[in-house]
Amino acid sequence: MSFSLNLPLNGVSFGQVSLLLMRAFFEKGIKPCLFPISGQIDLSALNQDKQFFDYITECTNKAHREHSRDIPTFKLWHLNQGIDSFSRINNLLTFYELDQPTPTEINVAKNADKLFFTNKFSQEVFSQYGVESDLIPLAFDRYSFKKINKKFFDDERIVFNLCGKFEKRKHHHKIIEAWAKKFGNDKRYSLQCALWNHFIDEKRNKDNFVNSVSRKNYANIQFLGHMKTNELYNDFLNSGNIVIGMSGAEGWGLPEFQSLAIGKHGVILNAHAYKEWATKENSVLVEPCGKIEAYDGLFFHKGQNFNQGNIFDFNEDDFISGCEEAIKRVQDSPVNDAGLKIQKDFSLEKTVDKLLPLISA
């Protein structure tokens, strides 16, 4: 079994997926050559684990010494740099979020010897343009996330969690505004917003949150910002009862996915990648009401070679109805038993056992 890796190793979503895959290779005793994307390794989000850290270092140090272009390289990265490769055989796993692939994106996708998407929505979008791909679902991260028995609040409030990179695509402003109209300053409920965008500064992140609630002072809406470690993030996920996943476009939706898997209830948009793991049994599903353009002047610019198209939208009343149904589910059963099944259905072993034969020489 021979392959090399070109992965981002950091604490954001791409990096978290990469590190989880590396953990699986480590446990299997596989030592591929590793080329960290951008040449940087940031493992600060993980608990200290010297053996695993030494393994990462060993795989990185051997890359220039032992890698051959005849060995396939497996890369996890954005399409806009997906065509670059250390090998003659380039296998690419990428997250695609919109619905109108450009000629440039189609060309990059077709140049991969093997192309992988995480969800059927992205796969089907590209298949319309003659692009063949395999489906590799992501896995529950049992190393970083688990259900813990800890009391976070002195009262019996029902806590909603909102997560992710602060941007238009994820509808954070719309979600916060709608939630505030219905539940704002109602002490029976609270909304925790672990929202942060690494591409803008701290002041702008905080201003985005303040603007989301129309500069009103809601005592039961809290901005938590960026959490630097998975251990702290696991505490946050455990502190909530209901996770909100109403993003208009996702490659997977890791925070919501991990939340359901540790037994939290969810209000989830029934669209795009969410449909891979969110069901009517483990989530309150909210149907989209259509689509809107994705362009936000920051990540999505109209007329560019990448990231063109639309995101799903939703009706605010449907979202609030979903929240009310999720509250009932929490009152009936604090633990989402159907959600817990995600740990087995999307295990790391299943993901890696499917991936390895496809990327190895």
Mean pLDDT of the chain, nearest integer: 94
> Rounded CA gap, 82 and 93, in Å?
9
CB count in 10 Å sphere of residue 232: 13
Average pLDDT over residues 61-82: 96
Q: How confident is the model at residue 211 (pLDDT cuts 50, 70, 90)?
A: low
Query: Which of the four pLDDT bands, split at 50, 70 and 90, describes residue 206?
Result: low
Question: Do 33 and 22 meet the contact criterion of CB atoms below 8 Å apart?
Answer: no
pLDDT, residue 104, reads 98
pLDDT of residue 208: 64
Q: How far apart are CA 246 and CA 41, in angstroms?
A: 31
Which H or E element spans position 177?
helix 172-183
With a CB cutoff of 8 Å and minimum separation 6, the contacts of 203 are none
Q: How many Cα atoms occupy the beta-carbon half-sphere of 102 within 13 Å? A: 14
How many other β-carbons are positioned within 10 Å of the β-carbon of residue 281?
A: 11
For the whole model, what pTM was predicted?
0.94
Q: Which residues of 307-320 are buried (b: 16+ CB within 10 A; e: fewer)?
A: bbbbbbbbeeebbb
Q: If we measure between CA atoms, which residue out of 238, 255, 262, 267 comes closest to residue 329? A: 267
Where does residue 297 rank: exposed (0-12), middle (13-18), buried (19+ CB within 10 A)? exposed
For the cut 90, the answer to whether the pLDDT of residue 217 exceeds it is no
Rounded (5°) CA angle 276-282-286 = 75
User: How many whole angstroms from its chain centre is CA 348?
Assistant: 15
pLDDT at 140 over 90: yes
Better-scored residue on pLDDT, 16 or 201: 16
Q: Would you call 224 exposed, middle or buried from its count of C-beta atoms within 10 A (0-12, 13-18, 19+)?
A: middle
Mean of pLDDT values over 256-279 = 98
Residue 213, pLDDT > 70, answer no
**3 state DSSP class of 171:** coil
- For the 4-139+347-359 domain, the top CATH level (class) is alpha beta
For residue 225, what pLDDT is reported? Answer: 79
| Whole-angstrom distance, CA of residue 77 vs CA of residue 72 | 16
β-strand 310-313 against 290-293: which pairing, if any? antiparallel
Separation of alpha carbons 306 and 300, rounded Å: 8
Same CATH fold, 158-345 and 4-139+347-359? yes
Task: Mention every residue, 6+ apart, whose C-beta is less than 8 A from residue 113.
Answer: 72, 89, 90, 91
CA-based max dimension of the chain = 62
Residue from 271, 97, 256 nearest 169 by CA: 97
Q: What is the DSSP letter of 280?
A: T
Check residue 299 and give its pLDDT.
84
Whether pLDDT at 214 is above 60: no
| pLDDT single digits (tens) 11-37 | 888 999 999 999 999 999 999 999 999
Record the tokens describing residue 332, joined without a space: 């009936």
What is the second-level CATH architecture of the domain 158-345? 3-Layer(aba) Sandwich (3.40)
**Pair of tokens at residue 360:** 């190895």
pLDDT of 215 strictly over 60: no
For the record, the structure tokens of 246 come out as 């109403």
Count of Cβ atoms closer than 10 Å to residue 348 Cβ: 19
| Residue 109, phi-psi category: left (phi > 0), alpha (psi -120 to 50), beta (remainder) | alpha
Q: Where are the domains of the chain?
A: 4-139+347-359, 158-345
Residues whose CB falls within 8 Å of the CB of residue 2, separated by 6 or more in sequence, listed in order = 71, 72, 360, 361
- Please enumerate in sequence order all residues whose Cβ is within 8 A of that of 156, keeping only pairs 6 or more positions apart, or say none: none
The partner residues of 54 in beta bridges, in order of sequence, read none
